[in-house]
Structure 1
Amino acid sequence: MKRSHIPPLLDRKWLAPLLITSSLSLLLFLSFSLINAKFPPPASGFSGGGSSSELPRLPRLAYLITGTKDDGARVKRLLQAVYHPRNYYLIHLDLEAPEGERLELARYVKSEGVVREFGNVMVIGDADLVTAQGPTMIASTLHAIAVLLKRAKDWDWFINLSASDYPLVPQDDLLHIFSYLPRDLNFLEHSGDLGYKEVERARPIIIDPGLYHLKKSGVFYAKERRSLPASFKLFMGSAWVVLTKPFLEFCVWGWDNLPRTLLMYYTNFLSSPEGYFHTVVCNHKDYQNTTINHDLRYSRWDNPPKQHPITLTMEHLDDMVRSGAPFARKFEKDDPVLNRIDKELLMRLDGRFTPGAWCMGSSRAGKDPCLVSGSPIVVKPTLSSRRLEKLIANLLDPETFRGKQCK
């Protein structure tokens, strides 16, 4: 079986993304040819290798899974829940996590037979320091994207997940539905109406000690406050995104001044992940029409919203399912609702991968079917894919699609 060129363990720290000048690539404008396309019903399985003229090519997803101290077990469980041999996975436990947790994840990646066979999981060995409200979080995310751009060259969408996230659909469902989407759609919840965030996020000037210290601490506020910028418009929204590779190449390689300018601006911005990608995408003509105003997560918020969403429990499960979202956040460690999601939505047993068409072993007598791996270009969507299909169709409704872009 063909193996990925990605090594299972990243033993040294890659440099932070360098914003360098290169020739401007000609990018295709957003195609609407598939917006009204009908999704085929879940079937016994179909190939995504492109051999059939009637079926689109399956995409590849590049995941960043992040955690901090005491998150090693949660990150491992999340990796098992979202694993598919077609995708790529980069795991980062920040500097606050003890080295033992990081090494334990690296040992798991090296020892797990399926992961070793496909070689599509990396663990960052030399961790970044990440503070929740400072620019170190967006710097760490850009660092991870730079690694994925360098080490995994054929993916389509980037998805960031934290240890408190969990999937609501199997990867076969997600790959199946995404195979019918134009490859230039960027999913990020965003708005130019800042509301209370203008006062609490945009006008304060903060200093993040994490930029020059090796120990996590809170951010410092300057006495001065700043006015809103005149050369670009601020957009803010969810820090959790599904972004295309071409857009992220634009952000990292920086052949235009906009990503560099905004990176400097957001260095002193409170909760920069809530605005950096949103402001870049909505201020550039080549990307502002590629946005879908949704982060593909189910979450619940206080009113008025706090820094983090409400912790999800069993009472929220029905709403999660009805939402059609492929992911939900945030969950407490080992909350019973995660076991329900495993059993009823993912068909996953404890300590095993979420099964898919690539799992070719026998499930009789309690055996793990994923111990025997088959082709990674065949998926078998479940009935749950219908909920995701409905969500995507609503987001692409021609009557509302344009009206929610960068407004």
Structure 2
Amino acid sequence: MGIKYAMLFSITITILLSLLILIPSLQNGSKFHTINHSDHHLLTQQKPYPVSFAYLISASKGDVDRLVRILTAVYHPANYYLLHLDREARPEEHHHLYQSISSHPTFARFGNVWIVQKSNLVTYRGPTMLTTTLHAISMLLRTCQWDWFINLSASDYPLITQDDLIVAFSNLPRDLNFVQHTSRLGWKIKKRAKPIMLDPALSETNKTEIIWLTQNRTVPTAFKLFTGSAWTVLSRSFAEYFIVGWDNLPRTLLLYYANFVSSPEGYFQTLICNSREYRNTTVNHDLHYIMWDTPPKQHPLNLGIKDYRKMVLSGRVFARKFKKNDPVLDKIDKELLRRKGLQFTFGGWCYEDEKKMCTNSPSKGAIGVLKPGAGSRRLRSLLTKIASGKNFRQRQCK
């Protein structure tokens, strides 16, 4: 009876949670701090850039400085940015983040950076990271027009400029989804698929360890399980499908993954590969450079100076994980992003001819102008390899 009660409780909480994910997309934008300005409304109406991206950047307690650093590294007026700081962070940290964003004149001018006001508790290996992502996507769908959604953490860092990214993606079909995936679960069947866990953060105000039930469950037969990277680039069409679409598969899988260990590494993979409409839109890649132990452990290895050349030659858009203020980040800033400190990454919208760098005043550049560099060529080469020809179709949902 105890197990049945626990499972019933978990399902009830998940149903309520799925409703909460959808509600913000139907209400006004009162769930995040925002600084609006008419310049951004004008920018949206004119659409001077070929594509745009919506970012969710998540951070844990103690990570505000890293969050601000990666934000300035990936910032561009063409894009949209939603910042989530774990509710576990101290009030002073939340205030520090708000002050850092609200006092920045460029963010105020374009009004395309928001902070989740009522942030969530995010439990390690629990489903709360997934629900936070779904919540963010629902808000971004309602608030602004974009082509792809990207989720990052404060431990990530870009390897190319946003001008590079925009130009490289400008000729791609808008329905492509970059979701690294495989149906070969291996050890994850025993360690992830069969165990049943409950995440107290779904119903409690304080973070505690996840609860393990003594009884295991069988591998599902109504759908095929897939696993992969938690870091994705999702199309707007696919996002609308699982947030506001009529198909019940997204909600069915959300209920299932509420009790799944490390659900962000399986939900989107299983969803897209079991969807007839979207399974052929998958590019089996997460566009991240990540180093793992052999065999892989729970966490990737920290990257450093020794990994710099491999990161650059990989053609990837992002890399992870980095320690706070690791010297390799300064090298990336100087040689790949062409910026110093918290200056913006080099781009046509803010560059200064004399310095060949971006100023933090966009008046020096020109809105709509793109200045791609070597990073765009490296990424285009990678995209040609993974998103076209036999390599594209043969690696879909296998």
TM-score (norm 1): 0.85
CA deviation after TM superposition for structure 1 residue 336, in Å: 0.3
Is 1:308 the counterpart of 2:306? The answer is no
Q: Distance in 1 between matches of 2:386 and 2:47?
A: 26
Q: Choose the corresponding residue for 1:343, options 334, 342, 345.
A: 334
Partner of 1:208: 199
Q: Give the alignment of 1:26-45 within 5 angstroms.
A: none
| Secondary structure class of the residue paired with 1:218 | coil
Q: Distance in 2 between matches of 1:279 and 1:196?
A: 17
Structure 1 outlier segments of 4+, above 6 Å: none
Aligned residues of 2:290 and 2:321 also touching (Cα < 8 A): yes
Q: Give me the CA root mean square deviation.
A: 1.9
Aligned CA distance change for structure 1 residues 120 and 405 (closer, same or farther; 3 Å): same
Which amino acid is the alignment partner of residue 97 of structure 2?
A: L
Taking only the aligned residue pairs, the percentage that are identical comes to: 51
CA deviation after TM superposition for structure 1 residue 367, in Å: 8.8
Which amino acid is the alignment partner of residue 22 of structure 2?
A: L
Partner of 2:310: 319
Q: Distance in 2 between matches of 1:83 and 1:276?
A: 28
Partner of 1:18: 22
Q: Distance in 2 between matches of 1:333 and 1:363?
A: 31
Give per-residue Cα distances to partners, 1:243-292, cap 9 Å, x unaligned: 01111111111411100100000010000000111111110111000000
Partner of 2:8: none
Is 1:260 the counterpart of 2:264? The answer is no
| Secondary structure class of the residue paired with 2:196 | strand
Give per-residue Cα distances to partners, 1:37-64, cap 9 Å, x unaligned: xxxxxxxxxxxx789xxxxx61110000
Alignment length (residue pairs) = 359
| Secondary structure class of the residue paired with 1:161 | strand
| Secondary structure class of the residue paired with 1:224 | coil
CA deviation after TM superposition for structure 1 residue 110, in Å: 1.5
Which amino acid is the alignment partner of residue 306 of structure 1?
A: K
Aligned residues of 1:157 and 1:244 also touching (Cα < 8 A): yes
Q: Choose the corresponding residue for 1:400, options 386, 391, 397.
A: 391
CA deviation after TM superposition for structure 1 residue 328, in Å: 0.2
Partner of 2:108: 116
Q: Choose the corresponding residue for 2:175, options 171, 180, 184.
A: 184
CA deviation after TM superposition for structure 1 residue 136, in Å: 0.9
CA deviation after TM superposition for structure 1 residue 370, in Å: 3.5
Q: Choose the corresponding residue for 1:384, options 353, 375, 378.
A: 375
Q: Distance in 2 between matches of 1:225 and 1:332?
A: 37
Larger RCO, structures 1/2 (Cα 8 Å, 6+ apart): 1
Partner of 1:5: none
Which amino acid is the alignment partner of residue 310 of structure 1?
A: L
Gaps of 5+ in 2: 1-18, 25-45
Partner of 2:9: none
| Secondary structure class of the residue paired with 2:215 | strand
Partner of 1:272: 263
| Secondary structure class of the residue paired with 2:21 | coil
Give per-residue Cα distances to partners, 1:24-44, cap 9 Å, x unaligned: xxxxxxxxxxxxxxxxxxxxx
| Secondary structure class of the residue paired with 2:126 | coil
Give per-residue Cα distances to partners, 1:324-361, cap 9 Å, x unaligned: 00100000000000000000110011121112000154
Aligned residues of 1:165 and 1:327 also touching (Cα < 8 A): yes
CA deviation after TM superposition for structure 1 residue 369, in Å: 2.4
CA deviation after TM superposition for structure 1 residue 151, in Å: 1.3
CA deviation after TM superposition for structure 1 residue 362, in Å: 5.7
Q: Give the alignment of 1:284-295 within 5 angstroms.
A: 284-295=275-286
Partner of 1:298: 289
Q: Distance in 2 between matches of 1:317 and 1:371?
A: 30
Q: Give the alignment of 1:47-58 within 5 angstroms.
A: 58=50
Which amino acid is the alignment partner of residue 204 of structure 1?
A: P
Aligned residues of 1:16 and 1:142 also touching (Cα < 8 A): no
Aligned residues of 1:205 and 1:226 also touching (Cα < 8 A): yes
Gaps of 5+ in 1: 1-14, 21-48, 52-56
Aligned residues of 1:235 and 1:278 also touching (Cα < 8 A): yes
The structure richer in helix per residue is 2
